[in-house]
Chain A
Amino acid sequence: MYKALADAIKDAERDKKSLAQVALAAESRDQGRPVEDIRAALQRALDVMRSAIEKGLVGDLYSASGLVGGDAAKLRTSAKGPLAQTPFRDILTRALAVQEVNAAMGVIVAAPTAGGAGVLPAILTGLAKAKSVSDEKVVDGLATAGLIGAVVAERASLSGAEGGCQAETGAAAGMAAGAATEMLGGTPSQVGHAVALTMQGMLGLVCDPLGGLVELPCVFRNATGAAIALAGIEMALAGITFAIPVDEVIDVMGEIGREMDVRYRETAGGGLAATPTGRRLAKERLYQIKRSDG
Chain B
Amino acid sequence: MVSLLDIIGPVMVGPSSSHTAGACRLGLLARGLIGGTPQSGLLQLHGSFARTGEGHGTDKALVGGLLGFRPDDERIREALQIAEREGLDYKFEKVTIADAAHPNTVRINVELNGKKATMLGSSLGAGRIMVQEIDGYPVEVTGNLHTIVLVAEDRKGSIARITGVLAEHDINIATLRLSRKERGGDAFMVIECDEEPDKKAGEELRALDWVRWTRRLPKVSGG
Binding site for B on A (CB under 8 A): 1, 23-24, 27, 30-31, 33, 38, 41-42, 44-45, 48, 63-65, 101-115, 117, 120, 142-143, 145-147, 149-150, 153-154, 158-159, 161-162, 175, 211-215, 266-268, 286, 289-290, 293
Contacts and interface: CB of A to CB of B under 8 A. Distances in A.
A43 to B, nearest CB: 11
A109 B13 CA distance: 9
Main secondary structure of the interface of A (DSSP, over half): helix
B13 A213 contact: no
Given A142-B8, A146-B5, A158-B7, 14 more contacts: A24-B4, A48-B11, A105-B14, A105-B15, A105-B20, A106-B14, A113-B18, A114-B12, A115-B16, A145-B8, A147-B4, A153-B7, A161-B125, A215-B15
Contact of B4 (A103, A109, A146): A146
B72 interface: yes
B20 A114 contact: yes
6 contacts: A41-B223, A45-B8, A103-B15, A113-B126, A161-B18, A212-B52
B80 A110 contact: no
Contact of A211 (B4, B13, B52, B103): B52
Nearest to A162: B125
B126 A45 contact: no
B113 interface: no
A114 B16 contact: yes
B223 A31 contact: yes
Contacts of B55: 64-65, 211-213, 215, 286, 289
Contact of B21 (A110, A112, A145): A110
Interface residues of B, number: 39
Contacts of A115: 15-17
B65 interface: no
B1 interface: yes
Interface in B86-138: 103, 125-127
Interface in B35-53: 48, 51-52
B9 interface: yes
A101 B72 CA distance: 13
Contacts of A104: 14-15
B206 interface: no
B21 A114 contact: yes
Contacts of A1: 1-4
A149 B7 contact: yes
Contacts of B125: 113, 158-159, 161-162
Contacts of B77: 105
B11 A45 contact: yes
Contacts of B16: 114-115, 214
A153 B51 CA distance: 26
B14 A143 contact: no
